[in-house]
Amino acid sequence: MSSLDPHLAQILARLQRLYPMEQAHACFEQLCNAMQTSRSRLATSDNSEQVQQSSPSWSQQDVVLISYGDSIYDASAGMPLQVLDAFLQKHVQDAISHVHLLPFFPYSSDDGFSVIDYLQVDPDLGDWADIAALHKRYKLMFDYVLNHVSRESLWFTDFKANVAPFNQFFIEVDPSTDVSMVVRPRNTPLLVPAYTHAGRKWVWATFSADQIDLNFENPAVLLKMLEVLLFYIEQGAEIVRLDAVAFLWKVLGTPSIHLPQTHEVVKMIRDVMAWVSPNSLVLTETNVPHQENVSYFGAGDEAHLVYQFSLAPLVLHALYRGDGNYLTAWAQDLAAPPPGCNYLNFTASHDGIGLRPVEGLLPEREIEDLIAGMHRQGGYVSMRSRPDGTQSPYEINISLFSAFRETCHGLGPDQWQVDRFICSQLIMLSLQGIPALYIHSLLATVNDQEGVERTGRTRSINRRKWERPYLEALLAREHSPNAKVLKRLVAVLKRRKKHRAFHPDTRQQVLDLGPAFFALWRGLEELKFPLLAVFNLTNDFQNFDLVHQLADLPMVASQNDQWVNLLDQQTYDTAENQLLMAPYQVLWLMPAQIDDVNPLWAMQTD
């Protein structure tokens, strides 16, 4: 292993920026040995393709499905991971490319995000063989919960027993210390008691008393967590999601969020993965205001992928209000990602719909109105503590399908819920980046109020566990919302993957057509046949002027006098001045002479 290797040299330089020279070199030597071992294992394993490609890549065929290992279960048909695999084979097939398995490790709370053992599969879900079986059909995303561990983990047990090296793995703070400057994502105490062999100590716990933060100022902690990362890559993780990474490094007297050391660690993780598995991707999870969020692209040398956190609340707001002005303004100002980087677009996940990502994008009155509207749909709001001791809304907890049950007009539930919901998903699927769909969006799952009552946690409202026979019965009913949504979304995903316009790198140009619409071009200046996506955000019929939109594009207009909506194959002649769009209708318009099933078109790059 040559010390001149650029990735290794970069890793050493980063370690030297984090730790004293002697500690940095000792950590580097051990890390190099671990990296070499993992690289050798990958070269001789079923995952050998991970070390053959020179750099990560993506295409319009990439779509991520987010799911817990037991989001669907059937005790009579095997372990939950096996049931999930069988369900996807039957209903989804190749409409998706990746499965993001939310934490599937033994845990003590927070539905998996309080990890007891990073290296084991929760026996209630299955085992590593089940993960490998799923990996035969789909690429995998793993959660890398690196900020904290469970209070019940062996690491924390050894800390309490003063057993090295784990007696230095956590952050002890005098309870009288002023920690008011620390940015909080929760309204729980930052310091929590731990009863050790040396008496009561107070330790740092950003998220809950059961989730104890690791001390990355200790290089042994970084080394141990990088060994966990290497293990995940060996098990087939093509995307590694860095959970809550913004809070990784702590310095008293600072906000302890987005510190330079945190960014350095993320860059190091990318360097390690580039050397061991060049086509693996780093994804950062930072539920914060937009500019803070995109800072994790670095200069194109940090995260490959950043969650598009502002998208979910802005889409929800636009369709709830029937007004796309704020969504359009944000999308028009959205900077293209650096080369080799991209956005992960999503509208729902296991977490709530974040409100910090619309700070500065939506006025306070609009946020308050949206929260009140979601309360009427059966949702909740989680709070966070501010440095001045007050609390502010952090996220809305609601099933996304239930969130679209009605609009702000006060008329109650209407007949447009499915169409409104599909419109929200097609907005996400149209934007530049890689799309990710939560399994409960694919299944049109409604609020799980029983789950909230059972667990006492508002986030459980969007974490339902479906019993497969019952779910299959719903899907067999052609007119059930579940069947309608699943059928329509799978069909759209299969059609979408054939078009170069949806390649994650194909640029977008967002139009301002007034509050009733959201609209954008994909590939207008780079593809011979660009795509125009238009969305009616209202529950009224709206006139869309296709001729006007093409008037300033003589090359596009002159060569193509007929356009087809890829979603229903209806054609439109440019001689028609107005297209009447139904409530929540979506147009994916391309020149009509293009055969969208032609493999040559699918590969078009010009």
Q: pLDDT tens digits for 275-321?
A: 999 999 999 999 999 999 999 999 999 999 999 999 999 999 999 99
pTM across the whole model? 0.95
Beta bridge mates, 543: 580
Q: Cα 347 vs. chain centroid, distance in angstroms?
A: 9
Neighbours of 220 (CB within 10 A): 18
Pairing of strands 562-565, 98-101: unpaired
Q: Residues annotated in the binding site for substrate, as ranges?
A: 110, 148, 241-243, 350-351, 459
Backbone angles phi, psi at 212, to 5 degrees: -95, 125
Predicted local distance difference test score (pLDDT) of residue 54: 60
Could you report the per-residue pLDDT of 402-461, keeping only the tens digit for each? 999 999 988 889 999 999 999 999 999 999 999 999 999 999 999 999 999 999 999 999
Cα 230 from Cα 241, distance rounded (Å): 13
Predicted local distance difference test score (pLDDT) of residue 596: 44
Average pLDDT over residues 106-132: 97
- The overall average pLDDT reported for the chain is 93
Could you report the per-residue pLDDT of 235-272, keeping only the tens digit for each? 999 999 999 999 999 999 999 999 999 999 999 999 99
Question: Considering only CA atoms, which of 566, 516, 510 is closest in space to residue 537?
Answer: 516
Q: Cα 328 vs. chain centroid, distance in angstroms?
A: 21
In this structure, what token pair is assigned to residue 592? 């009509």
Hey, CA dihedral for 388, 208, 397, 336, is it positive or negative? positive
DSSP code for 334: P
Question: Considering only CA atoms, which of 588, 605, 602, 595 is closest in space to residue 429?
Answer: 588
In this structure, what token pair is assigned to residue 283? 């994804």
Strand, coil or helix: 233: helix
Asked whether residue 606 carries a pLDDT value surpassing 70, the answer given is no
The amino acid present at 468, given as its one-letter code, is R
Could you report the per-residue pLDDT of 448-492, keeping only the tens digit for each? 999 999 999 999 999 999 999 999 999 999 999 999 999 999 999
Please state the three-class secondary structure of 293-314 as a single string.
HHHHHCCCCCCCEEECCCHHHH
Q: List the domains of the chain with CATH numbers.
A: 64-146+223-499 (3.20.20.80), 502-602 (2.60.40.1180)
Predicted local distance difference test score (pLDDT) of residue 597: 40
Query: Left, alpha or beta for 533 (phi > 0: left; psi -120 to 50: alpha)?
Result: beta
Average pLDDT over residues 132-159: 98
Could you report the per-residue pLDDT of 7-65, keeping only the tens digit for each? 899 999 999 999 999 999 999 999 999 999 999 999 987 666 555 556 678 999 999 99
Predicted local distance difference test score (pLDDT) of residue 558: 55
**Active site members:** 243
The secondary structure of 499-512 as a DSSP string is: -GGGSTTS-EEEE-
Asked whether residue 601 carries a pLDDT value surpassing 50, the answer given is no
Predicted local distance difference test score (pLDDT) of residue 580: 92
Note whether 532 and 572 are within 8 A (CB). Answer: no
Q: Residues annotated in the binding site, as ranges?
A: 110, 148, 241-243, 350-351, 459
Cα 108 from Cα 213, distance rounded (Å): 15
Q: CA angle, 267 as apex, 263 and 270 as ends, to 5°?
A: 145
Cα 382 from Cα 388, distance rounded (Å): 18
592 contacts: CB under 8 Å, gap ≥ 6: 560, 562, 563, 564, 571
| pLDDT band at residue 273 using 50, 70 and 90 as cut-offs | very high
Could you report the per-residue pLDDT of 521-543, keeping only the tens digit for each? 999 988 888 999 999 999 999 99
In this structure, what token pair is assigned to residue 56? 């990560």
Average pLDDT over residues 208-227: 98
Note whether 435 and 428 are within 8 A (CB). Answer: yes
Cα 518 from Cα 535, distance rounded (Å): 5
Strand, coil or helix: 20: coil
Q: Cα 227 vs. chain centroid, distance in angstroms?
A: 24
Residue for token pair 């800390």:
159
Question: Considering only CA atoms, which of 285, 367, 379 is closest in space to residue 326?
Answer: 367
Query: In percent, how much of the chain has pLDDT > 70?
Result: 94
Neighbours of 296 (CB within 10 A): 26
DSSP code for 279: T
Asked whether residue 554 carries a pLDDT value surpassing 90, the answer given is no
Strand ranges (E), 205-323: 211-213, 237-242, 281-284, 305-307
Residue for token pair 């939560």:
438
**Picking from 71-80, 116-125, 142-151, 555-564, which range would have the lowest pLDDT averaged per residue?**
555-564
Predicted local distance difference test score (pLDDT) of residue 55: 65
Cα 413 from Cα 265, distance rounded (Å): 48
Asked whether residue 74 carries a pLDDT value surpassing 90, the answer given is yes
Cα 103 from Cα 146, distance rounded (Å): 12
Predicted local distance difference test score (pLDDT) of residue 177: 97
Could you report the per-residue pLDDT of 327-363, keeping only the tens digit for each? 999 999 999 999 999 999 999 999 999 999 999 999 9
HSE-up (13 A, CA, CB side) for residue 380: 17
Strand, coil or helix: 229: helix
Residue for token pair 């301002």:
512
Note whether 263 and 249 are within 8 A (CB). Answer: no
Kindly provide the b/e burial profile for residues 578-599, where b requires at least 16 CB atoms within 10 angstroms of the residue's own CB: ebebebbbbbbbbbbebeeeee
DSSP code for 72: E
Average pLDDT over residues 184-213: 96
Question: Considering only CA atoms, which of 316, 345, 299 is closest in space to residue 58?
Answer: 345
Cα 266 from Cα 289, distance rounded (Å): 19
In this structure, what token pair is assigned to residue 363? 């006025």
Beta bridge mates, 195: 200
Predicted local distance difference test score (pLDDT) of residue 56: 73
Predicted local distance difference test score (pLDDT) of residue 599: 35
